[in-house]
Amino acid sequence: MIAVYPGSFDPITVGHIDIIQRMSSKFEEFHILVAKSGDKEYFFSEEERVDLIKGALPKISNLKIHIGSGLTIDFAKKIKADCILRGLRAISDFEYEMAMANMNKKLAAEIETLIVFASPQHHFISSRLVKEVARHGGDLSGLVPPIVEQALMKKQE
């Protein structure tokens, strides 16, 4: 089975890493797609986000990281993925995820969206809040890996 785990990863947090570590071994191929979400303005460039993902993760033999420019479902079709994987933290994520899953289903019925619950200790973590904490010089330990913490601090200088 082949899975795509798409997201903005701006930046990758311990919540994303938890999902990747729990799920990557369940698939023959596990692809992380750094994709663009609507009109979101990003703090890190795509290349920076890829470098942070690479630096934050241990070696995972079946993992590949990509930058996406179009629809996630088109990328999933191109690499013959069986499913798109998304993490769900709270009920507030649900409607957005359901709309995206249904639209992707309409575009390619053969590809399933798989939803995995984030671990409870990560439910409050989001990239936006992490950036806000960083902007005000708050403590980022336990929220992002050290490489991301350093990158966030450097951007504030």
Cβ 8 to ligand COA shortest distance, Å: 3
Q: Nearest residue by C-beta to ligand COA? A: 15
Confirm or reject binding of residue 36 to ligand COA (CB under 6 A): yes
Copy the structure tokens of residue 3. Answer: 């899975």
Contact residue for ligand COA among 63, 76, 81, 118 (CB under 6 A): 118
Known catalytic membership, residue 40: yes
Residues 6+ apart with CB under 8 A from 49: 8, 9, 10, 11, 12, 34, 42
Confirm or reject binding of residue 15 to ligand COA (CB under 6 A): yes
- Alpha-carbon Rg for the chain in angstroms: 15
- Contact status, residue 142 vs residue 129, Cβ threshold 8 Å: no
Cβ 7 to ligand COA shortest distance, Å: 3
Confirm or reject binding of residue 62 to ligand COA (CB under 6 A): no
| Among the listed residues 20, 14, 10, 87, the one whose alpha carbon sits nearest the alpha carbon of residue 43 | 10
Q: Running DSSP on this structure, what letter comes out for residue 49?
A: H
Confirm or reject binding of residue 135 to ligand COA (CB under 6 A): no
Residues that bind ligand COA (CB under 6 A): 6-10, 13, 15-16, 19, 35-37, 68, 71-73, 87, 89, 100, 103-104, 118, 122, 125-128
